[in-house]
Amino acid sequence: MRILIVDDSVVMRKIVEGALRHAGLELTEAQHAANGAEGLAALEDAAARGELFDLILCDVHMPVLDGLGFLREKSQRNLGPGTPVVMITADSSDPHLLQAIDAGAQGYIAKPFTLEQVQTRVASLLSSAAGNASSHHSLPPTSPAAHTLGGR
């Protein structure tokens, strides 16, 4: 599975990638981008190689190009069509979050989060996006030993 994490925080990108790995996703590639513009460039590079990401996780507030701008540009330029985007936010009451959903994001993960919350949300999202029970996207049951992000 190939994922793209778009967040201006290196720490949060690492936390999210670690959470997904420990949620049971087999990541063949986890690409990081520090803002929406870098995220678009990653999508363009992937398209040029004839590849698609399976999932994009995107921060809402970022310098250069924020999450909403990323979604709008992605749509206008038809980059990664069909790839589900989940927003990551510390402010679940942020008006920009609703705009992001309107602009094509499939859902969001609110910070702070537990491993179970990430697992549940991503599994639900991938299931909806795929519309099937494709085995390579299915997640194993939650491991009681892997509940904390800090305990990765």
Residues that bind other proteins (CB under 8 A): 8-12, 14-15, 18, 61-63, 89-96, 111-114, 117, 147-152
| Of residues 58 and 129, the one with the C-beta less far from other proteins | 58
- Which residue is associated with the tokens 């494709």? 134
| Of residues 131 and 151, the one with the C-beta less far from other proteins | 151
- The packing angle between helices 10-22 and 115-130, to 10°, is 70
Phi, psi of 85 (to 5 degrees): -120, 130
Instruction: Report helix, strand or coil for 143.
Output: coil
Interacting residues of 135 by C-beta distance below 8 A, sequence separation 6+ = none
Query: What is the smallest separation between the CB atom of 133 and other proteins, expressed in angstroms?
Result: 29
Query: What is the smallest separation between the CB atom of 146 and other proteins, expressed in angstroms?
Result: 11
Identify the H or E element spanning 68: helix 67-76
| Of residues 53 and 113, the one with the C-beta less far from other proteins | 113
Query: What is the smallest separation between the CB atom of 52 and other proteins, expressed in angstroms?
Result: 29
